[in-house]
Amino acid sequence: QVQLVESGGGLVQPGGSLRLSCAASGSMFDMLAMAWYRQVPGKQRDLVADITSSGSTNYADSVKGRFTISRDNGKNTVYLQMDSLKPEDTADYYCKAELSTRSIRYHFWGQGTQVTVSS
- pLDDT given for residue 11 in this prediction: 98
- The alpha carbon of residue 15 and the mean position of all alpha carbons in its chain are separated, in whole angstroms, by 20
Q: HEC profile for the chain?
A: CCCEEEECCEEECCCCCEEEEEEECCCCHHHCEEEEEEECCCCCCEEEEEECCCCCEEECCCCCCCEEEEEEHHHCEEEEEECCCCHHHCEEEEEEEEEECCCCEEEEECCCEEEEECC
- pLDDT given for residue 9 in this prediction: 98
- Dihedral angle at the C-alpha atoms of 87, 50, 32, 100, nearest 10 degrees? 120
Per-residue pLDDT for the chain (119 aa), expressed as one digit of tens each? Answer: 799 999 999 999 999 999 999 999 988 899 999 999 999 999 999 999 999 999 999 999 999 999 999 999 999 999 999 999 999 999 999 999 999 888 899 999 999 999 999 99
- pLDDT given for residue 1 in this prediction: 79
- pLDDT given for residue 78 in this prediction: 98
- pLDDT given for residue 101 in this prediction: 85
